[in-house]
Homo-oligomer: A and B are copies of this chain.
Amino acid sequence: MKAIQHQELVTPALLIRAEAMARNRQRMTQAMSKFPSVSLRPHMKAHKCGPLALLQVADGALGVCAATVDEVYVAASAGVKDILLSNELATLAAVKRFVKIAAEFSQAKLRICVDSVGLIRLLKEAGAAAVNVGVLIEVDVGHHRCGCHPDQVVALAQAISEAGLSFDGIQCYQGKLQHIRDRDARRDAVMASAVAVAKLSKQKLLDAGIECNIVTGGGTGTFTVEAGSGVFTEVQPGSYLFMDVDYGKNPDTPFESSLFVLATIISIDSTRSWAVIDAGHKAVTMDSGPPAVVGHAETVQYTSGGDEHGILSTGNVGDLPVEFEVGKQLWLVPGHCDPTVNLYSTVHVMTEDGKSE
A226 at the interface (CB under 8 A from B): no
A8 at the interface (CB under 8 A from B): yes
A343 at the interface (CB under 8 A from B): yes
Q: How far is the CB of A271 from chain B (nearest CB, A)?
A: 10
Quick check: A308 and B345 within 8 Å, CB to CB? no
Instruction: Please provide the chain A residues from 142 to 177 with a CB less than 8 Å away from any CB of chain B in the complex.
Output: 144-149, 152, 175
Quick check: A146 and B267 within 8 Å, CB to CB? yes
Quick check: B342 and A309 within 8 Å, CB to CB? no
Given contacts A145-B306, A175-B306, 10 further A-B contacts (CB under 8 A): A10-B91, A89-B266, A94-B264, A144-B274, A146-B276, A149-B270, A281-B285, A281-B287, A281-B342, A286-B287
| Alpha-carbon distance A152/B146, docked complex (angstroms) | 57
A residues touching B (Cβ–Cβ < 8 Å)? 7-11, 45, 67-69, 87-91, 93-94, 97, 115-116, 118-119, 122, 140, 144-149, 152, 175, 264-270, 274, 276, 278, 281-282, 285-287, 304-309, 311, 325-327, 329, 336, 338-339, 342-343, 345
Q: How far is the CB of A299 from chain B (nearest CB, A)?
A: 20
Contacts of A119 in B (CB 8 A): 326
Q: A10-B93, A93-B7, A308-B68 are in contact. Are A276 and B326 (CB under 8 A)?
A: no
| Alpha-carbon distance A329/B9, docked complex (angstroms) | 41
